[in-house]
Amino acid sequence: MKHSIHTDTPTIGFQIAPMIDVVFVIMLFFMVMVGSVKVERELKTKLPGERDVTQTVQFPAEEITIGILEDGTVTLNEEAFDSPKDKALPMLTRTLRRVEASSAQQNQLVLVTIQAEEQASYERVIDVLNSLHQAQIQNVTFTVGSEPL
């Protein structure tokens, strides 16, 4: 008696169902991640415009450098002000108000350069900007990291 062994070996081909599942999982991932993207807020900045070259230029008497360190320490011309945890920066604000008042009496501008270290928090930069706003100082420039050349 002859026995034949019959094996059902299905042919292995390309399976589309697992690929569709993978696409849906990737699509779901991106849909969930869109909700967690942080939106940047726009800060009003005043860019330099065209000037009349016949006009005399008055050089400012007050040039101030405000440093923001990685630990949150704020310095004014390399002198530390307030606590790194103090959001209001009262000592810095009072000093900036006095500088602005004395410059206004002399009819000169106050130029401020904010020099933030690369790892300084953006929140601390905003705290300093709030302090400058309270002192009504508007001429502000930014540098990051080491001092400009």
Sorted by sequence, the CB contacts under 8 Å of residue 88 that are 6+ apart come out as: 82, 127
Domain that holds residue 128: 62-144
The answer to whether the predicted template modeling score (pTM) of the entire model surpasses 0.75 is: no
Number of domains in the chain: 1
Give 61 or 75, the one with higher predicted confidence.
Answer: 75
Inside any domain, residue 52: no
- The predicted pLDDT at position 144 comes to 75
Inside any domain, residue 8: no
**pLDDT at position 125 over 70:** yes
CATH number for the domain that contains residue 103:
3.30.420.270
Inside any domain, residue 140: yes
Residue 7 gets the label, from left (phi > 0), alpha (psi -120 to 50) or beta, of beta
Inside any domain, residue 19: no
Q: How many Cβ atoms are within 10 Å of 135's Cβ, its own excluded?
A: 20
Burial status of residue 112 (CB atoms within 10 A of its CB: 0-12, 13-18, 19 or more):
buried
Distance between CA atoms of residues 110 and 112, nearest Å = 6
Inside any domain, residue 1: no
